[in-house]
Chains A and B, each alone.
Chain A
Amino acid sequence: MASVSEIITRPRERVHAVKWIKNNLFSSWFNTLLTVLSSALMYTILSQLFIWIFTIANWRVIAVNLRLFMVGTYPLEQIWRLWLCVAIGTTLLGLSWGIWPHVVSRVAMVYGTALLLLALAPFGVTTRIWLAGCGALVFVGMLVGRRIPDAGRWVALTWLVFLPLMLILMRGFGTFLPVVQTRQWGGLQLTLVLAITGIALSFPLGVLLAIGRRSPLPAISLCCTLYIELIRAVPLITVLFMFQIMLPLFIPGGESFDRIVRAIVAFTLFTAAYIAENVRGGLQAIPRGQFEAARALGLNPFLTMSFIILPQALRIVIPANVGQFISLFKDTSLVVIAALLDLLGIGRSVLAQSEFLGLQTEVLLFVAAVYWIFTFSMSHVSKRLEQTIGGGNR
């Protein structure tokens, strides 16, 4: 008789491919029918799509206008500044990969490899050097990041500093960096600027609004509630319109604000209201006992909020907040009402060129693919973030 103390390993369940297919796709006549029908349908659609992509589509419209799609009418001789932003960004991405491998490893790896592969494409020499350099920096950053696993705080801080630095580099100042007017910004560059600054500014504002709405002081809570409810009652496009067209009417000197700044403010104020409601949901999910335990230890309300309540609440609302950020990313295309040419706006202006009339499908498919790359990266990182910091402690 086997003694109980003997370690019996759990029998391994081998999944045979054939068995899996049989169990999942052909388990009954009805499932078999569904499988056959849906594969036929998928085959028809996908084969048509592939044939179209590889034989019929005229991708010259993208190839010729690629620079326009990426950076709008940003002056050619200043493009190195944008490349420098990308290089700093990829280095930080690499460092983050080394320090928080669970969260960004896959995204960083894919981005790095993609940049290196793109360097093989028939672009100009400088472009290929920049592409290869940025791709390599991801992997160099990763190797460095692994050596300094405790530098997480510094890397996070650098990410924060990177944001204003990026804007300064793009706009320029003084004699060394000639000013590039924001009306020359465009394409993916503009989309990213709007989205990244919008996200970075609306998040802290949203958190403050959420805390304010729960404040015991009626004046503060009323103001926050009013703000949130007012903004949420208005469509985004209206908020954008207000800031673009009506602001100069009401505020003397309002027309002196840059159009992009006005757009960023509008996106920030709009998104913050939604973030605030998400975060408020998270705050409400924290049991009363957590507040009581913190208070009983003598922690003041500020310490309680920042060390006990917010870290737990923000963790809960990662999925909701990232959803909000993804939607902000896509909604940046509404700046077309302010005559700003973001990625989609450039697409429309390209289609107006007589040479490329009627190539909507190609252009829209390309623009959609670029949006998808970024939004999918965001949702992937958020999923990893949830798994890493949300697991194992409840």
Chain B
Amino acid sequence: MIGRKDLSKADDIIICRGVHKWFDDFHVLKDVNTTVKRSEVVVVFGPSGSGKSTFIRCINRLEEHQQGQIIVDGIELTNDIRNIEAIRSEVGMVFQQFNLFPHITVLDNVTLAPIWVRKWPKAKAREVAMELLNRVGIANQSHKYPGQLSGGQQQRVAIARALAMQPKIMLFDEPTSALDPEMIKEVLDVMIELAESGMTMLVVTHEMGFAREVADRMLFFDHGQIVEDGRPEQIFEDPREDRTKLFLSQIL
């Protein structure tokens, strides 16, 4: 594929070794092993309940894993609260339901964490925020409250809010699943632009067009395991596993 990044020299930014997780007695993640390189765009897909969301929520420890090792940017995720907060400020996350803060303006949504976590002066935070809002195309809405924006606009604000912390990794948990069809493209366009700028991205999505266009690698999850791991052209044209084949035939 034209213009696809050369990742052969990039270092590993996320390392997962033998990760297991249980919700009570339900075994959600079963021995997940994978590494993500800096600037790599990884699309995670699979049937619902397969553990793909849980997997990426483990990367910034919104969920705890009970066995195995997750190392993010050289820091291992343990119960040490300082480690967790350090990692969370390096890892941005975008949620299916946007989760913007409804009681403050769009601009305040974006500047809150830089001001209070990064301790930036207000003027700098505001400047960076306006730049980002401009980049996602909603600078002129900055004074509004989230409830006054459309779903697509809200999700773009959510992306700007995560980027304002200048993260090294961005996690996307089904970012377009709660959107009306005509708004999906505006969000995907922002994500494509972000991928091209060299951001490390882990994206849970069923948008196969997006995967085909920008993913460096795809992970197919089923029953808490990575069933197939490959480049998009290989996954789409020549899936090795029957389960992958079946799933793709159902959604394409």
Residues of A within 8 A of B (CB): 287, 289-290, 292-300, 303, 307-308, 311-312, 315, 392-394
Q: Given the complex, which residues of B lie within 8 Å of A294, measured CB to CB?
A: 101
Is B67 an interface residue, CB under 8 A from the partner?
no
Q: Given the complex, which residues of A lie within 8 Å of B60, measured CB to CB?
A: 296
**A181 vs B4: C-alpha distance when bound (angstroms):** 84
Q: Given the complex, which residues of A lie within 8 Å of B101, measured CB to CB?
A: 290, 293-294, 308, 312
Asked if residues A297 and B147 are in contact (CB atoms below 8 Å), the reply is no
Q: Given the complex, which residues of A lie within 8 Å of B32, measured CB to CB?
A: none
Is B126 an interface residue, CB under 8 A from the partner?
no
**A89 vs B246: C-alpha distance when bound (angstroms):** 74
Is B113 an interface residue, CB under 8 A from the partner?
yes
Sample of 14 further A-B pairs with CB below 8 A, known A290-B99, A292-B95, A393-B146:
A287-B97, A289-B97, A293-B93, A293-B101, A293-B158, A294-B101, A296-B88, A297-B112, A297-B117, A297-B165, A298-B113, A299-B116, A393-B102, A393-B145
Asked if residues B102 and A289 are in contact (CB atoms below 8 Å), the reply is no
Q: Given the complex, which residues of B lie within 8 Å of A295, measured CB to CB?
A: 62, 88
Within 8 A of A (CB), among B78-133: 85, 88-89, 91-93, 95, 97, 99-103, 112-113, 116-117
Is B161 an interface residue, CB under 8 A from the partner?
yes
Asked if residues B165 and A394 are in contact (CB atoms below 8 Å), the reply is no
Q: Given the complex, which residues of B lie within 8 Å of A300, measured CB to CB?
A: 85
Asked if residues A392 and B147 are in contact (CB atoms below 8 Å), the reply is yes
**A137 vs B113: C-alpha distance when bound (angstroms):** 42
Asked if residues A392 and B162 are in contact (CB atoms below 8 Å), the reply is no
Sorting the interface of chain B by its residue count into under 10, 10 to 19, 20 to 34 or 35 or more gives 20 to 34
**A122 vs B147: C-alpha distance when bound (angstroms):** 55
**A181 vs B170: C-alpha distance when bound (angstroms):** 66
Q: Given the complex, which residues of A lie within 8 Å of B95, measured CB to CB?
A: 289, 292-293, 296
**A392 vs B105: C-alpha distance when bound (angstroms):** 11
Asked if residues B89 and A297 are in contact (CB atoms below 8 Å), the reply is yes
**A299 vs B93: C-alpha distance when bound (angstroms):** 13
Q: Given the complex, which residues of A lie within 8 Å of B85, measured CB to CB?
A: 298, 300
Chain A's interface: helix, strand, loop or mixed, by majority? Answer: helix
Q: Given the complex, which residues of A lie within 8 Å of B134, measured CB to CB?
A: none
Is B150 an interface residue, CB under 8 A from the partner?
no
Asked if residues B103 and A312 are in contact (CB atoms below 8 Å), the reply is yes
Q: Given the complex, which residues of B lie within 8 Å of A296, measured CB to CB?
A: 60, 62, 88, 91-93, 95, 162
Contact of A312 among B88, B102, B112, B161 (CB under 8 A): B102
Q: Given the complex, which residues of A lie within 8 Å of B102, measured CB to CB?
A: 312, 393-394
Asked if residues A289 and B99 are in contact (CB atoms below 8 Å), the reply is yes
Is B148 an interface residue, CB under 8 A from the partner?
yes
Asked if residues B117 and A303 are in contact (CB atoms below 8 Å), the reply is yes
Residue among A298, A299, A315 with max Cβ neighbours from chain B (10 Å) = A298
**A295 vs B100: C-alpha distance when bound (angstroms):** 13
Q: Given the complex, which residues of A lie within 8 Å of B146, measured CB to CB?
A: 393
Asked if residues B117 and A392 are in contact (CB atoms below 8 Å), the reply is no
**A239 vs B91: C-alpha distance when bound (angstroms):** 51
Known: A297-B88, A297-B117. A292 touches B147 (CB 8 A): no
Quote the shortest CB–CB distance from A106 to chain B (angstroms).
25
Asked if residues A393 and B100 are in contact (CB atoms below 8 Å), the reply is no
Q: Given the complex, which residues of A lie within 8 Å of B100, measured CB to CB?
A: 293
Quote the shortest CB–CB distance from A255 to chain B (angstroms).
48
**A290 vs B62: C-alpha distance when bound (angstroms):** 12
Quote the shortest CB–CB distance from B57 to chain A (angstroms).
8
7 example contacts (A-B, Cβ-Cβ < 8 A) are as follows A297-B89, A298-B85, A307-B112, A307-B116, A392-B147, A393-B147, A394-B147
Asked if residues B103 and A393 are in contact (CB atoms below 8 Å), the reply is yes
**A295 vs B64: C-alpha distance when bound (angstroms):** 14
Q: Given the complex, which residues of B lie within 8 Å of A293, measured CB to CB?
A: 93, 95, 99-101, 158
Nearest A residue to B112, CB-CB: A307
Nearest A residue to B57, CB-CB: A292
Q: Given the complex, which residues of B lie within 8 Å of A298, measured CB to CB?
A: 85, 88-89, 113, 117, 165
Asked if residues B161 and A297 are in contact (CB atoms below 8 Å), the reply is yes
**A292 vs B60: C-alpha distance when bound (angstroms):** 10
Q: Given the complex, which residues of A lie within 8 Å of B91, measured CB to CB?
A: 296
Q: Given the complex, which residues of B lie within 8 Å of A392, measured CB to CB?
A: 145, 147-148
Q: Given the complex, which residues of B lie within 8 Å of A290, measured CB to CB?
A: 99, 101
Residue among B62, B89, B116, B146 with max Cβ neighbours from chain A (10 Å) = B116
Quote the shortest CB–CB distance from B173 to chain A (angstroms).
10
Q: Given the complex, which residues of B lie within 8 Å of A315, measured CB to CB?
A: 103
Nearest A residue to B81, CB-CB: A300
Residue among B62, B100, B101, B117 with max Cβ neighbours from chain A (10 Å) = B101
Quote the shortest CB–CB distance from A151 to chain B (angstroms).
19
**A392 vs B149: C-alpha distance when bound (angstroms):** 11
